[in-house]
Structure 1
Amino acid sequence: MNWQWLVSIGLWLYAAALIALTLRILMKRRPVGVSLAWLLFLYIIPVGGIFAYLLLGERYLGHLRAKRADELFSYYSHWLEHILLEQQNLSPARPVLRPVMELTRGSLGMPIIVGSRWSLHCEASDVFERLIKDIDQAQHSIFMEFYIVEAEGALLPVLTALQHASRRGVDVYMMLDSVGSNRFLHSKHAKQLIAARVQLVDALHANLLRMAFRRQDIRQHRKLVSIDNSIAYTGSMNLADPSYFKTQSGVGPWVDMMVRLEGDIAKVIQGTLIFDWEMETGKRLEKHLQAPEFKAVKDDNLMQLLPSGPALDDEVLLQVLLTGIHNARESVMITTPYFVPDEALLQALKSAAKRGLDVTIIVPAKNDSRLADYAGRSFYLELLQAGVRLLLFKDGLLHTKTVIVDRHLVLIGSVNLDMRSIWLNFEATLIVDDEDFSAEVLSQIEQYRERSDHLTIGQWQKRPRYQRLLENLIQLASPLL
């Protein structure tokens, strides 16, 4: 009798939890695919689905970080407002650029910066060599924010340069993701940096005991560097030598693209890095914050930083992507290592192809994430049928993340075209309006095309049935990947 009573109570509690979470999911008004995926998990995985939602179902940053972010956003909004007042008449003239840049400005207050110098770097050795020179010449501050740091090969001299800079009096701040850089954060190299007075922080510290208080899979995925408010780097590359990084994964070397920047855009990037540092640590660093001077060092380019993540506007990144695609008139070119679009992004790409635009997506032929790979493949057939060109890069893991619209508007940064990057992680995207810049990026992407196989409908339909079943099964969870 007692057992029957306990079972009855348990069933009632389970039913109550299901109803409560169902109502909560419906009231959240998230993308339909995300809501349906969570409802599916709740009802087909008894008990486990409930625990999964409680731990991973909502984008909860944690009370302390959320409170700091709110306070800091108010402070930085005033800083950004000052910049916007100085450039209130500045607006891109090209039709494809205006809505994208003005959307970012209207949603986040991010300024459009005119006249920055830039150089594109597609070899890790070039990035490290240039970075070491900039670190050696630093006088006041160095900020770094990365998802992964692996202390091997060509990266070791970079770490040594950071130690030397700190010892000569430069303030060095290094924020690394707790999960992505876990091995490095517990290595002798991290201890050497700390001994040299480098301020090293593991961002979004992962701890199983804190799972009830903060979602643990929210990650700091940005790749940003700022030096003396005058030089900055951004792009897709982690601080890792591809000759050593994940060589056992069987996907080949990682292929990335980074941008080195000079001018006022570096001040905006440093402001973003300071915001992240203060949100994570609670320590204020106003002394390193400078407003742009609006002295163009090059006359004919516009740049804008688009930071995204849980502390900011939830939908701005997806809105920017959709706005760019919907306003395209000639072409959309995408490179991404992980392609798991939501329904809105998928339909935008198919619609663009059906309108007669040249829509091309380049992804790696081999991927280090099996789940993301299978989920992405489940969309290939309908994309091909809509007229989208799919190219499979065969010379390594193509990790470059770019979106190029009409061969002119360039979005480049840390964002993968999957729901984790778009909705969950802290990311950074550089929006660029510059003919020379887009031409150089396209030249590099043309090299990717030459090293890729063109996937056809006939080839894709020949894959085994079990593979199709697996892809479609994993697709059910794609809104959560």
Structure 2
Amino acid sequence: MVPKVEDKPVTKSLSPPKSGVLAETARRLENTRDEEQSSLLLLDEAKEALEWRLALVDSAKSSIDIQLYLWHDGASGKLLLDRVLRAADRGVRVRILVDDFLFNGNEPFVSSICRYHPNIDIRIFNPTSFRGNPLGSSMEFLLNFAHLNRRMHNKTWTADQSFSIVGGRNVGDHYYGLDEHYNFLDLDVLVSGPPVREVAKGFDLFWNSAQAYPGALLSKRAKREILEERRARLLAYLDQEKDGMLRSFPTRPKDWSREFARLPHTMAKGKAVFIQDHPDREQDNRQLVTSLGTAVGKQSRELILVSPYFIPGKGMLESMEQAVKEGKDVHVLAPSLAANNQPAAHGHYKKKRKPTLRTGAKLYELRSQPDKSVRMMADVSPVRSKIVAMHTKAIVGDRTRCFIGSMNLDPRAIKINTESGMLIDSPELTADLFSMLQKIRRSESVWEVTLDERNKLRWSENGVNFQDEPPAPWMKKVTSRIVGWLPLESQL
């Protein structure tokens, strides 16, 4: 059982340094736009999403703050962990805040990092007390359900308070094109400008909250030797995979000056606002949902909703129906069962197909075997995954405004978890996002779902109609059907 926290240091985000490629590039970008504007770059391809995270870490001079739902131990996880440790070695202060739900099992290593590396600290959001004890953890979860059921789903990545990445990607191979079983279509935005300060403030709020538990206290078995042994294993793995799984990425720190020098010519301009929920359940007013509801209501012509786990409630369905009555085109993009990594969520999404279509909205489902141009967004050489799954979370309005963040359009995101994201008013960036969604919505990559004259669901492919749901692995079908019978919608 983890000890109670007696004295937890309060730390704040460091101001941008006066020199360094990140701070200098941020100042150059500032000179290219109006004062209230930001510089924005859409990260819709897995390869560039990992490259820009590496670029921020390798280029940081004073600070790195990372907030995630999970950090998987795979090729990308090892690569990023090695780079973060190297940044700390050269004096960069690193703070990592990770949710606890999928974090059990690494307690001695986490505690060893926190105790024996002077420049890196890790905190765990809302941890269970009984570590490594499945029975104790289960009993604790049941007895303290309301508290432990609330998870931190936020995802931000900030360096030198000069650049932030905000969006839907955690750390794991399927987010960065390196999973042989399935890779995600996903989405982030790289931003420089006023929102970075708000991301930094938001990180501090979570970092210093009562829910953030110091990693140093997770285990009594912390040893310097554990840290040294793990680092040696990381180096051996990276040397082994530099011409293998990781051949598309630099396995040692590099100079990214050339890439940053191109940003003034490639980043879009626009107004952007960072929004997030409050870490304390008692103080949380669901800021993200409120802000999105207001923003969605302002659209006059078109609304595109993209979510991997689309389970609209009564209020959302009524809003969609009202938008259609007002003459707006409403489109929904969700994954088919085969392209959904969470068949449990699909079990309740499928019950929402007909209600969604009855609002007048158009519904599209991503295929697990999309066309080559879409697959290239998800896979990174040498990997070709068995399927392409969907993890993209976005809202596009009137092709001029958009939301990119961590929030699914499901009950858990709307009512339970904490979420974060960026509201963006930029015709230039939104045009890039719309173009990407148009590529995905081509007939070779999606089925259009409609209702026929008998009120039966119909899937269309190149003008050919099917009455049965597109094929999927039998285990996904079984899981989806069983969970769909259970009264679990509020938890999905």
TM-score (norm 1): 0.67
Given residue 427 of structure 1, which amino acid in structure 2 is its aligned partner? Answer: E
SS state at 2:295 partner: helix
| Residues 209-228 of structure 1: pairs in structure 2 closer than 5 A | 210-211=140-141, 212-213=143-144, 215-228=147-160
Q: Which residue of 31, 34, 38 corresponds with 1:116?
A: 38
SS state at 2:150 partner: coil
Report the equivalent of 1:455: 449
Contact 1:113 1:302 in 2 (8 A): no
Q: Deviations over 1:277-335 (max 9, x none)?
A: 0004489xxxxxxxxxxxxx999521111101453442433333333333321111011
Q: Deviations over 1:85-124 (max 9, x none)?
A: xxxxxxxxxxxxxxxxxxxxxxxxxxx9822212111223
Q: Which residue of 373, 388, 396 corresponds with 2:346?
A: 373
Stretch of structure 1 that moved more, 165-174 or 114-123: 114-123
Q: RMSD across aligned C-alpha pairs, in angstroms?
A: 3.6
SS state at 2:174 partner: coil
Given residue 315 of structure 2, which amino acid in structure 1 is its aligned partner? Answer: A
Report the equivalent of 1:391: 364
SS state at 1:340 partner: coil
- With over 3 angstroms needed to count, the CA separation of the structure-2 counterparts of 1:419 and 1:265, relative to structure 1, is same
Give 1:477 deviation, angstroms. Answer: 4.1
| Residues 355-374 of structure 1: pairs in structure 2 closer than 5 A | 355-366=326-337, 367-374=340-347
Report the equivalent of 1:337: 308
Given residue 328 of structure 1, which amino acid in structure 2 is its aligned partner? Answer: Q
- With over 3 angstroms needed to count, the CA separation of the structure-2 counterparts of 1:163 and 1:316, relative to structure 1, is closer
Given residue 385 of structure 1, which amino acid in structure 2 is its aligned partner? Answer: R
Report the equivalent of 1:419: 411
Given residue 220 of structure 1, which amino acid in structure 2 is its aligned partner? Answer: M
Give 1:274 deviation, angstroms. Answer: 1.1
CA–CA distance in 1 between the matches of 2:175 and 2:481?
A: 36
Report the equivalent of 2:394: 402
| Residues 178-257 of structure 1: pairs in structure 2 closer than 5 A | 178-182=100-104, 185-186=106-107, 195-197=116-118, 198-207=120-129, 208=137, 210-211=140-141, 212-213=143-144, 215-242=147-174, 252-257=182-187
TM-score (norm 2): 0.65
Given residue 94 of structure 2, which amino acid in structure 1 is its aligned partner? Answer: V
% same residue: 20
CA–CA distance in 1 between the matches of 2:407 and 2:435?
A: 21
Report the equivalent of 2:274: 305
Report the equivalent of 1:353: 324
Contact 1:325 1:348 in 2 (8 A): no
SS state at 1:423 partner: helix
Contact 2:77 2:171 in 1 (8 A): yes
2:87 is the counterpart of 1:165: yes
CA–CA distance in 2 between the matches of 1:401 and 1:371?
A: 18
Contact 2:303 2:330 in 1 (8 A): yes
Could you say which structure has the higher helix fraction? 1
SS state at 2:124 partner: strand
Give 1:247 deviation, angstroms. Answer: 5.6
Give 1:152 deviation, angstroms. Answer: 1.5
Q: Which residue of 121, 135, 147 corresponds with 2:69?
A: 147
SS state at 1:346 partner: helix
Given residue 203 of structure 2, which amino acid in structure 1 is its aligned partner? Answer: L
- With over 3 angstroms needed to count, the CA separation of the structure-2 counterparts of 1:193 and 1:203, relative to structure 1, is same
Give 1:147 deviation, angstroms. Answer: 0.8
Contact 1:325 1:349 in 2 (8 A): no
Q: Deviations over 1:40-69 (max 9, x none)?
A: xxxxxxxxxxxxxxxxxxxxxxx99xxx9x
Contact 1:322 1:345 in 2 (8 A): no
Higher relative contact order (CA 8 A, sep 6+): 2
Report the equivalent of 1:175: 97
Q: Which segments of structure 1 move beyond 6 Å, counting only runs of 4 or more?
A: 243-246, 466-472
CA–CA distance in 1 between the matches of 2:484 and 2:91?
A: 56
Unaligned runs of 5+ in 1: 1-62, 77-111, 284-296
Given residue 447 of structure 2, which amino acid in structure 1 is its aligned partner? Answer: D
- With over 3 angstroms needed to count, the CA separation of the structure-2 counterparts of 1:163 and 1:360, relative to structure 1, is same
Count of residues in Structure 1 that have an aligned counterpart in Structure 2:
360
SS state at 1:412 partner: strand
CA–CA distance in 1 between the matches of 2:198 and 2:172?
A: 25
Give 1:386 deviation, angstroms. Answer: 2.6
SS state at 2:299 partner: coil
Report the equivalent of 1:80: none
Unaligned runs of 5+ in 2: 14-33, 130-136, 215-263, 369-387, 459-466, 470-476
Report the equivalent of 1:96: none
SS state at 2:171 partner: coil
Report the equivalent of 2:234: none
Report the equivalent of 2:474: none
- With over 3 angstroms needed to count, the CA separation of the structure-2 counterparts of 1:387 and 1:114, relative to structure 1, is same
Contact 2:401 2:425 in 1 (8 A): yes
